[in-house]
A and B are shown apart, each in its own frame.
Chain A
Amino acid sequence: MPPKTNTLGLTREDYKGSKSTLCPGCGHDSISNQIISMAYDLGLNQHNLIKLSGIGCSSKTPAYFMGRAHAFNAVHGRMPSVATGATLANRNLLAIGVSGDGDTGSIGMGQFKHLVRRNVPMVYIIENNGVYGLTKGQFSATADSGQELKYYGRNELPPIDLALEAIIGGCTFVARSFSGDAKQVQTLLKAAMSHHGTAVVDIISPCVTFNNHETSSKSYDYGKQNEVALHEIDFMPSGYVPEREEITVGEYAEGEMISVTMHDGSVIRLKKVGPDHDPRNRAQAFQLLERAQMEQLFVTGLLYYEEPRPTLAESLYLTQTPLAQLGEEHLRPSRQVLDDIMKDYM
């Protein structure tokens, strides 16, 4: 039997990268797997896709998926600026950034906030484990207050909630998930890929070596026992032909089904399974995350969505042709133009 293929005639194998060198059981590897599945399912063109990362365990992962896509492993915490430049150079590129909680929440906080503020079109994945893995187990800025680590004792400082930071920063697509919840991760990533602008997906991804113990809120056991999914999520890409009878809102009680039509015509459908939450309401999103922090609730799902603002390329009124592909006729004005300017200075 020939292997299953997607709309481009490619197999799932074609979306894989090189072998992971992370610790066996690392949450990041399951996220890479979901990225592969997402890209395969959506039939993404790898030549038009860029993978970017900073420095850290999470930032190594772009090597482990989509080997036919261009990749850029940048400097620590500064991947957002590289993504900004690359997507300006070629507005047709699809960008996936992979970062960690140290890379985003500490050294890269400034760039992260400005990335979402500019609405650089990309999916920004945070593989969040509350700990610095590559430098052997220091606390990160997302570690819970009061948490203990073998070598560093007790963390006395409050955690930074990167999803909250994204919403405050003006991000129009913010989700949180758990690497142990493969289906949700994959669905959120698919929706994020359709978003017009920066889509931040903060995924709690346990570090099996340094932070998978019982006092950690970023361990597998904690996640499995405490994850509160807000919704059951369906994503229907633009042009999707439903194989089954379409679910209509009418079948559900008021407020139990939310349908979001995205910029490219894709639809996200959210069926309520957890606490009441309308992700289209910014104030509710703040309240939810505030409550989650106070009550140590591990809520996952689409936290916030709004009608996207113009992307950076749009707000700069760039030509539709990728800047990187402009020919000399667009890159160099004529001799006459120079002569005319010179006259202004005579």
Chain B
Amino acid sequence: MGLMDIQASTQTKATANGQRIVNNFAITAATRNGTGSQTSNNVLVLSLFKMGIPVNGKNLFPSNIKGLPTWYTIRANKHGYTARPAQAEIAVALNTDTAAEDIQKLPPGGVVIIPQEWNWTKSREDIVYYEIPVDPLVKEAGINPDLRERVANMVYVGAVAQLFDISLDIIWQALLQNFNGKEKPAKINFDMAKRAYEWTAQNIVKRDPYHFEPMPDNNKGKIIITGNESAALGSLFGGVTVVAWYPITPATSLADGILEYQHIRKAADGNTVAITQAEDEISAIGAIVGAGWAGARAMTSTSGPGISLMAEFTGLAYFAEIPCVIWDVTRIGPSTGMPTRTSQGDILFIHFLSHGDTRQIVLLPSSVAECFEFGWRAFDISEQFQTPVFVASDLDLGMNNWMSEPFAYPDQPINRGKMLDKAKLEQFIADHGEWYRYRDYDGDGVGYRTVPGTDHPRAAYFTRGTSHSDKAIYSERSEDWVQNLSRIQRKINSARNLLPQPIVDQDPAKKIGILSFGSNDPAILEGRDMLAAAGIQTNYMRVRALPLADSVAEFVRTHERVYVLENNFDGQLAQIVRMEMSESTEHMASVPLGDGLPMTAQWVFEQVSKREGK
């Protein structure tokens, strides 16, 4: 595929010559928050998904329950690119507050769908206006006034379906899926969509080149799901037993997901997962530290402000060596920041979270499949290394719908690490003549632990965040302090090459390396294709965990130029790489984004090509 072909997705120039643009454009629906547009958007995404078209939906929403503007961008791309498009070719303008701007943003040849009753002045001659009588259609439908506002958004679903070729049958299937098979709400919405579909067919003459065409079987066997739901499922398959959390955007739907699916873990006499909403994030982390200490697989989900509150406890857990899992579905900060905008701006903070010398393990999922995988794996890693494990997802990954292959069932049995029950403790003492909690018997820095309730007179030990000897006894001796912290440092360092390793696409002939992590992946994959089409060949390494694997430094070392692309303001991954490399990193450029929006391929292309002097 050439550059021109790719650019067709963002620059429209085909209107006049009658060229058809098929399955390679984006629609942005501009509505008001709280008016039920999520159903409409979801139905459009599901419809395209069911047609076999690679699709991705991104919600740009305000921190507000009702009234403020919200935009939802649906990108269909036959090549499978799912990054946020730099521009949408079609605008559904249903919010008078933003309509002028929404229309202004359209590229030449773009399309706007707008309520007829607004009598909007058609000031642009280079776009197509389609006027739909939204209010009259809703009124004619005779819908219960209570539901009218919520159902009104189905008008644009019907219009879009008619204009760009989505069949009503597909819309019906999507509605059913959206409402979990409940026919009644599906029917009310469907009738509205159908009415608009028919009106459009009779009254609008299509004057644009955009078409959806089914790609039979292309999406067969694939799923579409949010990262937070995936993480919730992963956690349940990872054996989570205690969840303590506090509501915060964009992490709430992760805990909600566990609640929704906890039935898959139900035992005959009750729940095997305790889910408790704490009074704040300090309490949430305290509860999972207590639970982890007592032998549960415990987790919390939060975002940046919650992470700040958890700093003290995570230091305790690090130092007292207590397993627990903390999901940070990152939004943009500092402070309250933009609560509904995405970011990768917490990795530096969580990697070193808490006072003193701490270095926390962080997993960096890039896809819904990795949200699932790291969801279960995080517990194994946490118990293996007896330390908190952070998983840094983000708002874009967590809250938006992504296509994926179905998740792979865990390929390893649950690993509870070096845990001694009564019999094992008995054997351990028989073998070693002793057992001390923080003594390094295996040379890997990881001690053996017991949990409360172990029926053995020597099972108990004293857990504290204060300095202690390897016998878990309070000690203010510097030797004990240094020995203990050195062991913990050795333990964490040993994790580098055992954690999920970077994914690399590398050809030794190529001199330019791109380093990144997380949900930038789709933008980078597409951006690299654009760069390649422009003659810039790149290798790519996607980091999946902190502390960094040794191969990261090797990747930086072996390239003439390296670009670290990430979605935060300060270039945090680049900082971590520099911190860990003793040799010069002058050939490595930090290229941070950090504007609150998911990375686009266009941005990747521009940033790298600019620096490459092209």
- Is A341 a contact of B233 with CB atoms below 8 Å? yes
CB-contact partner of B461 in A70, A93, A317, A335, under 8 A = A70
Smallest beta-carbon distance B424→chain A, Å: 14
A225 at the interface (CB under 8 A from B): no
Query: A73 vs B316: C-alpha distance in the bound complex, in angstroms?
Result: 10
What is the chain A residue whose CB lies nearest that of B454? A47
- Is B272 a contact of A331 with CB atoms below 8 Å? yes
Of B158-166, B217-225, B511-519, the one touching chain A: B217-225
Could you say which residues of chain B place their CB within 8 Å of the CB of A312?
274, 276
Sort chain A's interface into a size bin.
35 or more
Could you say which residues of chain B place their CB within 8 Å of the CB of A79?
286
CB-contact partner of A85 in B222, B275, B286, B376, under 8 A = B286
Smallest beta-carbon distance B322→chain A, Å: 9
A158 at the interface (CB under 8 A from B): no
Could you say which residues of chain A place their CB within 8 Å of the CB of B337?
none
Could you say which residues of chain A place their CB within 8 Å of the CB of B223?
342, 345-346
- Is B221 a contact of A85 with CB atoms below 8 Å? no
- Is B452 a contact of A337 with CB atoms below 8 Å? no
Query: A339 vs B272: C-alpha distance in the bound complex, in angstroms?
Result: 21
A324 at the interface (CB under 8 A from B): yes
Query: A330 vs B225: C-alpha distance in the bound complex, in angstroms?
Result: 25
Most B C-beta atoms less than 10 A away, residue of A45, A52, A79, A332: A332
- Is A73 a contact of B462 with CB atoms below 8 Å? yes
CB-contact partner of A324 in B264, B296, B459, under 8 A = B296
Could you say which residues of chain A place their CB within 8 Å of the CB of B361?
none
Smallest beta-carbon distance B454→chain A, Å: 6
A325 at the interface (CB under 8 A from B): yes
Known: A86-B291, A86-B293, A88-B274. A331 touches B269 (CB 8 A): no
Could you say which residues of chain B place their CB within 8 Å of the CB of A209?
none
- Is B462 a contact of A47 with CB atoms below 8 Å? no
- Is A321 a contact of B267 with CB atoms below 8 Å? yes
A89 at the interface (CB under 8 A from B): yes
Could you say which residues of chain A place their CB within 8 Å of the CB of B241?
89, 323-324, 326, 331
A75 at the interface (CB under 8 A from B): yes
Query: A274 vs B536: C-alpha distance in the bound complex, in angstroms?
Result: 90
What is the chain B residue whose CB lies nearest that of A53? B464
Contact with A along B266-288 (1 / 0, CB 8 A): 01111111111011101111111
Known: A68-B457, A73-B463, A323-B242. A317 touches B271 (CB 8 A): yes
- Is B237 a contact of A324 with CB atoms below 8 Å? no
Smallest beta-carbon distance B276→chain A, Å: 7
- Is B287 a contact of A317 with CB atoms below 8 Å? no
Known: A85-B287, A86-B293, A88-B296. A330 touches B462 (CB 8 A): no
Interface residues of A (CB under 8 A from B): 45-50, 52, 62-63, 67-75, 78-90, 92-93, 110-111, 114, 118, 312-313, 316-326, 328, 330-333, 335, 337-339, 341-342, 345-346
Interface residues of B (CB under 8 A from A): 221-225, 233, 236-239, 241-242, 244, 261, 264-265, 267-276, 278-280, 282-298, 312-313, 316, 376, 406-407, 409-410, 413-414, 450-457, 459-466, 474
